[in-house]
Structure 1
Amino acid sequence: MPGTVSPEFLRAHTRTARPTLVPEVQLHVADDVVGLWEAMETEGGGAGQDPPFWAAAWPGGQALARYVLDHPATVAGRRVLDLGAGSGLVAVAALLAGATGVLASDPDPYSHAAIALNAELNGVSGIEVAGDLLDDDPPAVDVVLAGDVCYDREMTGRVLPFLGAAWLGGAAVFLGDPGRAYVPKEGLVEQIAYDVVDADGGPARRTTVWRLP
């Protein structure tokens, strides 16, 4: 993994776009994810990089961002954890909705660079980036926003105990997900559902914002 990611590399291999469900926010995204991944290997620090999940606006993140912008009292005046931050879409939306600060957690250094660029692009400040937090106790925050984190069995097995611990510690916990099989059927309360249109013209995905009760 690269120690430091050049902002110029990200700018050179992405374009700015507005997510379909959250047009208030701009992001650096990739038109050609495979081409970007290849460039990361050849130009951005060598082989072995994770896929560039940070270069797309995933449906669960879009749903959470839309939710906090439409319901700013969820985060206004509060410190927020954006878990699995990726592009930083949710972190940016939380700040636009009045959060006092955001801890954006993602294990990928490319994500950290993208979050900084996207914060600058949207004129917000107050995002602190961090790596993988799932093996530690949850940080002291008021709200946890977790988008698209239950994408496989192994990750879900790590995420759900962390979210439960954050909830037991007093945080409000929200999960955004487009109907993946690993999201539990019990223990969650539906807040709202959106049809998230694919930016490339694919079918819309019904995406739900859940809350731990």
Structure 2
Amino acid sequence: MSAALLMPLKCSRHGKLIYKVFTQTQRHRYLSNVYPSAEHLRKFISENTEITGEQSLTPEIRLRLFTPRCRFWRERPELWPFDDPYWAIYWPGGQALSRYVLDNPEVCRDQTVLDLGSGCGASAIAAKLCGAAHVLANDIDTVAAVATQMNCELNGLEPPVCVTTNMIGSEPDAFSLILLGDMFYDEALATHLHSWLDSCVRVHGTKVLIGDPGRAQFESHSIRQLLHQLAQFELPESVREENYGLTFSSVWCYRPEL
């Protein structure tokens, strides 16, 4: 994965360390690009993450994440065997989005929901807790998909359908709601995402909710003019300490008619 795609990792203390560790791992990954079995991945995730979440905006959701007590927080980078672990951090945009959903369960109740760039699966979990009729979690990392399933089980929920193909740019499915957090960290990706979201809204009337803590790439992008702010959350002290310069995180509704 390129350094540009690792941009969001630069926003946090956790991220700075992980950025240093994982930007060097490309040559050490499985040459076949084939992941081990789900059973092996579950064991790997269980052994190399810690159950946490109490200090986040959603203390009622428990997640397996990287913490300073985890092996790969300090391990030599060449020993990490998989893609860069975005799923192992609970990013502030995702925290705000999940908090908003939990505070407003009617947003997801009886809806067909896509959690795009699902990472640890927190937004998918929030949607299921709020009574969504169907939830699909999409992340291109196979390990993230397994982590999402494990995190759902950790919260007493049936895991959602997990898809690891890149859905951005594909023919839009008829989701009534798309949730995405912390996806506007790269200008090219943001532009591609903007075009695809616009297509989803035009074809299916999909509602789109975006969580972002105000990163520069988000604030300066043209999509910012098409968003209506729904909520703003002050980040817990521990989260602020881990995300230099970020004290709040907001939820926005995408309204291309603006």
Question: Tell me, what secondary structure is at the counterpart of 1:144?
Answer: strand
1:14–1:30 CA contact under 8 A, matched in 2: yes
Q: Cα gap change, 1:30/1:15 in structure 2, threshold over 3 Å: closer, same or farther?
A: same
Flag the structure with higher strand content: 1
2:48–2:71 CA contact under 8 A, matched in 1: no
Flag the structure with higher helix content: 2
- Number of equivalent positions: 209
1:17–1:29 CA contact under 8 A, matched in 2: yes
> Structure 1 residue 117 and structure 2 residue 150: aligned?
yes
Q: For residues 34 and 207 of structure 1, what CA distance do their matches in structure 2 show?
A: 29
Residue 82 of structure 1, aligned match among 115, 118, 132: 115
Q: Which amino acid aligns with 1:128?
A: V
1:79–1:100 CA contact under 8 A, matched in 2: yes
Tell me the TM-score normalized by structure 1.
0.90
Question: Tell me, what secondary structure is at the counterpart of 2:252?
Answer: strand
Residue 8 of structure 1, aligned match among 40, 43, 46: 43
Tell me the TM-score normalized by structure 2.
0.75
Two-structure CA RMSD over aligned residues (Å): 2.2
Question: Tell me, what secondary structure is at the counterpart of 1:133?
Answer: coil
Query: Percent identity of the aligned residues?
Result: 33
Moved more, 107-116 or 130-139: 130-139
Match in the other structure for 1:207 = 249
Q: Cα gap change, 1:210/1:135 in structure 2, threshold over 3 Å: closer, same or farther?
A: same
Q: Cα gap change, 1:194/1:128 in structure 2, threshold over 3 Å: closer, same or farther?
A: same
Q: For residues 144 and 128 of structure 1, what CA distance do their matches in structure 2 show?
A: 15
Moved segments of 4+, more than 6 Å: none
Shift of 1:137: 1.7
Structure 1: gaps (5+ residues): none
Shift of 1:185: 2.9
Q: For residues 37 and 115 of structure 1, what CA distance do their matches in structure 2 show?
A: 24
Q: Which amino acid aligns with 1:137?
A: E
> Structure 1 residue 35 and structure 2 residue 79: aligned?
no
Residue 232 of structure 2, aligned match among 183, 193, 210: 193
1:195–1:205 CA contact under 8 A, matched in 2: yes
Moved more, 65-74 or 182-191: 182-191
Q: For residues 144 and 126 of structure 1, what CA distance do their matches in structure 2 show?
A: 18
Shift of 1:126: 5.0
Question: Tell me, what secondary structure is at the counterpart of 1:136?
Answer: coil
Moved more, 112-121 or 158-167: 158-167
What is the correspondence of 1:52-201 to structure 2 with a 5 Å cutoff? 52-131=85-164, 132-168=166-202, 169-183=204-218, 184-197=223-236, 199=238
Q: Which whole-Å deviations, capped at 9, do the CAs of 1:113-172 have from their partners, x for residues lacking one? A: 100100100011251111211130222211000100001112212211121112222111
Structure 2: gaps (5+ residues): 1-32
